[in-house]
Structure 1
Amino acid sequence: MNEIAITVKDLVVRYRKLNKFSIKKQLLKKHQRDKGPKTFEAIKGISFEVPRGEILGIIGKNGSGKSTLLRTLAGIFSADEGEVDMHGYGVSLLSIGVGFQKELSGRENIYLSGMLLGFSEDEIKKKADEIIEFSELGDFVDAPVNTYSSGMHSKLAFSISAILETDIMLVDEVLSVGDERFKKKSYAKMKSLISNKDRTVVIVSHSLGTLENLCTSILWLHEGEIKMIGEPKKVIADYREFMK
């Protein structure tokens, strides 16, 4: 039996929903007990496991809980109920808009991101030139990240996670961002990374063709629940039929 890299058990993740309210009505009802903000259940008690070396794709319409699940696996969100166990493996998240200090330069963010991933300063220093070269940022690597376009941001994010390799890679739509040439380059790099049988990858994407080519299994999320999990062709075919 394969070693398990990711275990998710009875996972529930909730958001607070702050509704608009009238101050006058609030004052008039001050004697009533405050019920507090309502909550929205983004992930509704799901359970699954990912064996080490597997490539799991996550699909579902917008608002189904895909990115919430990925951020919970990454430790950005915490579980309200249930548990997530990454079994001690190092984890990196490739996601646009997550993890960078925008007032710092790209170079400074390489070091910061690397240290947050558990790498030493010396380990990052040995890889820094390779990261910068792959990102194609040139002199912009020393400019603040808040001056970057979304394409430049995605190139840096991908390059850091692709060069500073971790045991588990979580990928959120990064492969679909950037110019066409860089997309092909990052796709080729991703294929080489996940060909390592010891690396576990979880990819969230709307690009069904990419997932069918890359993944060993697909998890279909629908309104925070698992609708289906299994072999890519079968799950994607059923999902396409459902979305017609």
Structure 2
Amino acid sequence: MRVCNIGVCYKQKRGFMRSSEYWALKNVSFDIFHGETLGVIGRNGVGKSSLLKVLAGVIKPDRGHIETMVDSVALLGLQVGFKQTLSGRDNAIMNGMMQGVSRTVMEEKLTEIIGFTELEGFIDQPVCNYSAGMRARLRFAIAIQSDPDVLLIDEALGVGDAGFRKKSAEVIKSRIASDQTVLIVSHDMDTLRGLCQRILWVDQGETRMIGPVDEVLYQYESSGR
């Protein structure tokens, strides 16, 4: 996958019938290679989550383009929502289908999804009744079971109780070992050092640096950002 000069602009209201433009991303370019785990760092508000939404096809860039030969990309993130009035079961099927998985396959995978989330007693309840931790479990299980070509992770590994964090980290590590292509946005330096081959540093909506993990993280931490 090649990301070429991506820019994303949002409209901001400035009063009655007035608005201004805010460029969350201005000029981001990088390659992510098959089987690679690429980490993304940067302070809050520099456009990391917007970048993941572009890669996942949730939003379209206002400039630049993406060159890709992959068939499916799944975004696992805290900001990825559910249809609140639908049950966990229906949301699992719907989200899987949105990621390109057929309804039949998602129905076949429901047993594994429910088992991983440990939500057997709640899976047929509306998601609006779920706690934040329960929704995080369901998001993770859906993204993993959909088996995408590229898995995008937005600050999701630190969510839930200790048991769930350990279980989710083990799944991610097994995917990495099996040649899964993964892109992780995180502020946890230990997570990035333990899982990634390279790091992309996004600063003020632009690519600041991309390269080996230790080199980029040293420059990032030295900058005080």
Task: Give the alignment's TM-score, normalised by structure 1.
Answer: 0.89
Q: Select which of 11, 17, 23 maps to 1:16.
A: 11
Partner of 2:153: 171
Q: CA separation in 1, counterparts of 2:62 and 2:161?
A: 38
Counterpart residue number, 2:207: 226
Match of 1:215 in 2: 196
Q: 2:76: which partner in 1? A: 94
Hey, what's the Cα distance between the residues in 2 that align with 1:121 and 1:224? 37
Tell me whether 1:133 sits opposite 2:128 in the alignment.
no
Which SS does the other structure have where 2:6 is aligned? strand
Q: Which residue of the other structure, out of 100, 125, 133, is the alignment partner of 1:151?
A: 133
User: Would the aligned equivalents of 1:105 and 1:144 in 2 still touch at CA under 8 Å?
Assistant: yes
**Where does the alignment leave 5 or more consecutive residues of structure 1 unmatched?**
1-5, 27-35
Alpha-carbon displacement from aligned partner over 1:174-196 (angstroms, at most 9, x marks no partner): 10111111001100011001212
Q: Once the 2 structures are TM-superposed, how far is the Cα of residue 95 of structure 1 from its aligned partner?
A: 1.0
TM-superposed CA distance for 1:55, in Å, is: 0.7
Q: 1:80-106, CA deviations, whole angstroms, 9 ceiling, x for partnerless residues?
A: 011023323211010123141111000
Equivalences, count: 225
Q: Which residue is 1:237 aligned to?
A: 218
CA contact (8 A) 1:55 1:215 kept: yes
- Aligned partner of 1:40 among 13, 22, 25: 22
- Cα distance in structure 2, aligned partners of 1:162 and 1:130: 10
For residues 8 and 164 of structure 1, the distance between their equivalents in structure 2, rounded to whole angstroms, comes to 23
1:204 aligns with 2:204: no
Question: Structure 2 length as normaliser, TM-score?
Answer: 0.96
Counterpart residue identity of residue 149, structure 2: D
* Contact persistence 1:194–1:200 (CA under 8 A): yes
Whichever residue aligns with residue 199 of structure 2, its letter is I
Measure the CA separation in 1 of the matches of 2:22 and 2:134.
34
| Per-residue deviation, 1:37 | 1.9
Unaligned runs of 5+ in 2: none
| Pair member with larger Rg | 1
Could you say what secondary structure the match of 1:93 adopts?
strand
Q: Which residue of 2 aligns with 1:31?
A: none
8 A Cα contact 2:70 2:150, kept in partner:
no
